[in-house]
Chain A
Amino acid sequence: MKNDWLTASSFERTFSLVSAINTLSISAKLKSTGVTNPLSVEEVNQSRKILDDFFNGLQSVIQNAEKDKYGIVIGTDPRLGAFALQYINERKRVPPRSKLFTLSIHQLKEIIYSEERDNLEEQIDCLEALRTLIEQHAQTDVAGIFGDE
C-alpha cells in the first residue's frame, strides 16, 4: 500500500514515540545513578503522556487483533495494525525477549509512571525493548519518506 499521507503520519508518530522513550529512559538511568537530569520535568511528564496515549490506542487495537484469526486488523490505520500484530507475536515468543512482552498494557503504564527506585530497572528494560520494536517497524516509513538508501 503506497500512501504518502499514511507514511508521513506514521513517520511522525514514530518520531514522537521514540523521542518520549529516549527522554524517559535517560531520566530513569540518571535517576538510578543519582545524576542530575538536564531534561526538564515538563519534558518528562509530556513524554509519559505521549506513551500513555499511545498505550491506550494500542490496547484497543491489540484487542481487535487478538479477536481476529486471519491476521487482518481492521478498525485502525494499517500501520498501527501491523505494529499491533508484531507486538502480539513478540508476546507469544518463548522465552520472551523482554519483560515488556510479559506485562499487560495496564501494568506497563504503571511502570512508566512509577517514580519508585525499585521499578527503574524494569522501566529501563521495557522502554528499550519498546524502542527497538518501534524502530524496527518504522523502517517501512523511513524508506517511504527517503527511499531505500
Chain B
Amino acid sequence: MIKSLLEQHNHELYLDLQSLIQLVSLAPVSDELLGYKTGIINYSQALLQNVNINLALIKIGKSSIYKDILSRTQQTTQRFQLLSSMLVIPIVNSKKEDRICLQTIRWLHNSLPETKKYPAAFLSGNFAVRPFQDIAPLYYFPSLEQRSLLYQPLLFHEYGHFLYQIHRQEMDDLVQDLQAEIDEILMPMSQRNDRFSDAMAIKRQMIAYTWYSWAQELFCDAVGFTIGGPCFVRSFSRYLLLRDPGNFYRDQQDLENSSHPVTWLRIHNISKRAEKAGFKNLAKEIEKQWLSIAQMMNISEDYHGFYDEAVDDVINRTIEDMLIEASPRKFSQMDISSCDWDPSTDSPVRLFCLAWQKYSYDYQSYSTWEENQINLLLASH
C-alpha cells in the first residue's frame, strides 16, 4: 500500500510540476523579472528530476527505504507548495506597475557581485524579506507604497537581511562577540548568590539573547542609510512616525525575545549616522519630530535595560564591522545633489533623494511630478 501511495503521489507531483513549469514559461514578464523567471523554471526542473529519482527508488522495491522516499516526497511536495503558493505569484500575476519596485530590487542586487547571481522579486505584504538562497529571495512591499518613489528606500533595509544571509557565518560570529560583550558589560561588579541574583542573570542573558535579532535590524538600518543616505532617513521616519505608540515604548515582556528594537531607538541610531555623514539638520529635524510625538503621548524613553548607553560603543563597533563585511554600495555626492535627474545615467538613489526634496518643498504638486518621473524611469530601461 505504501509503495502504491508513494508512486501515485510522485506521479501527481510530476504532472503538477510540469503544469507549473508551463504556467511560468508562458507568463509574459517585464525585463526586470526575466532572471527571476529563469531561476524559478530551473528550480522547478530540478524538482522534476527529484521526482524522477523518487520514482526510480520506488521501483527498486526495497521496503526498508520507503521511509526515506516518503521524506524525500514530503520535501519535494513542500518545495512545490512554496513555488505554487508564493514564489511563482510575482510571475503569473505580473503587472506593469511592478516595474518600479522590480527596478529598485534589480539595481540593489546588481550593486554587488555576490548578490547579482540572485535575481529577486516581490509580493504585496508588509515590509519583509524571505532571503531564500537556494531558490530566490522574495521581498514584501505594501500595495500602495509599491507605486511611490518615496518609500522605495525601505527596500534597502530588507536588502540588508539578504546581505546578512550571504555573509551568515562572519555576521553570526560578530553578533556572537557582541552578545558576549553585552552580557559582560551588564554583569554587576559584585554578584550575590541568591534568587535575586539568579533573576538578574536570567534578565541579562535574555537581553544578550534578544540582541541577536536587534543587531541584525540595526545593521539593516545602517545598510539602508549607507545605500540611500538622506532618502532612507526620510522614508524610514515618515513611514513609522505616526503609526503606532509601540514605536516609542514597549513593555519589558514585549521586549524579551522580540524581533525588532523599539523604533525610537532605531531612529536615534539612524540620526547619529546621518549627523556623522554631515546631515546635521536632517538628523535634528527627525529627532525633533519623534520627540514631539513622544511628548504628546506622555512617553519618556525606557528600554527596561535592553539598551543602555554603556553598550553603545560595542554595538556601534559591531555594526561598523558588519558593514565592512557586507560592503553595501555607498551613496555618492551625485546621488544627493539637487540638480535634475537623468534616468539613463543616474542611480535610483538620486531619484529617491530628489523625490523627497520635491515632496518636502511642495507636497501638493508632488504627485504630478512623481508620475512624470516614474514614466521617465520606466521608459529608460
Q: In the bound complex, what is the Cα–Cα distance between A70 and B209 (angstroms)?
A: 12
Q: Contacts A1-B257, A22-B68 hold; do A74 and B134 have CB atoms under 8 A apart?
A: no
A17 CA / B258 CA spacing, docked (Å):
27
Contacts of B134 in A (CB 8 A): 12, 15-16
Residues of B within 8 A of A25 (CB): 65, 68
Among the 9-residue stretches B36-44, B176-184, B242-250, B331-339, the one with 4 or more Cβ atoms under 8 Å from chain A is B176-184
Contact with A along B84-114 (1 / 0, CB 8 A): 0110000000000000000000000000000
Query: How many cross-chain pairs have Cβ atoms below 8 Å apart between A and B?
Result: 109
| B269 CB contacts on chain A under 8 angstroms | none
| Residue contact B81 to A15, C-beta cutoff 8 Å | no
Contact B130 A5 (CB under 8 A): yes
Assembly CA distance A7 to B259 (angstroms): 12
Question: Which residues of the partner chain A approach B71 to less than 8 Å between Cβ atoms?
Answer: 18, 21-22, 131, 135
Given contacts A12-B133, A25-B68, contact A2 B259 (CB under 8 A): yes
Chain A minimum-CB-distance residue to B135: A12
B201 — which chain A residues lie within 8 A by C-beta? 70
B183–A74 touching, CB < 8 Å: yes
| Binding-face segment, A27-35, A87-95, A106-114 | A27-35
Which residues of chain B come closer than 8 Å to A22, judged between CB atoms?
Answer: 68, 71-72, 75
Minimum distance in angstroms from B154 CB to a CB of chain A: 14
Question: Is A72 a contact of B205 with CB atoms below 8 Å?
Answer: yes
Cβ-closest chain A residue relative to B138 = A8
Residues of A within 8 A of B11 (CB): none
Q: Report which of B57, B75, B257, B258 forms a contact with A15, defined as CB distance below 8 A.
A: B75
Question: B residues engaging A (CB < 8 A)?
Answer: 53, 56-57, 60, 62, 64-65, 67-69, 71-72, 75, 78-79, 81-82, 85-86, 128-134, 140, 161, 164-165, 168, 172, 176, 179-180, 183, 198, 201-202, 205-206, 208-209, 212-213, 216, 257-259
Task: Kindly list the 9 A-B residue pairs having the minimum CB-CB distance in the complex, ordered from nearest.
Answer: A8-B130, A4-B128, A75-B176, A5-B161, A72-B205, A3-B259, A74-B179, A74-B208, A26-B68
21 contacts between A and B (CB under 8 A): A1-B257, A1-B258, A4-B140, A15-B79, A22-B68, A26-B57, A29-B62, A33-B62, A38-B56, A38-B57, A70-B202, A72-B205, A72-B206, A74-B180, A74-B205, A75-B179, A76-B212, A77-B172, A142-B78, A145-B82, A146-B85
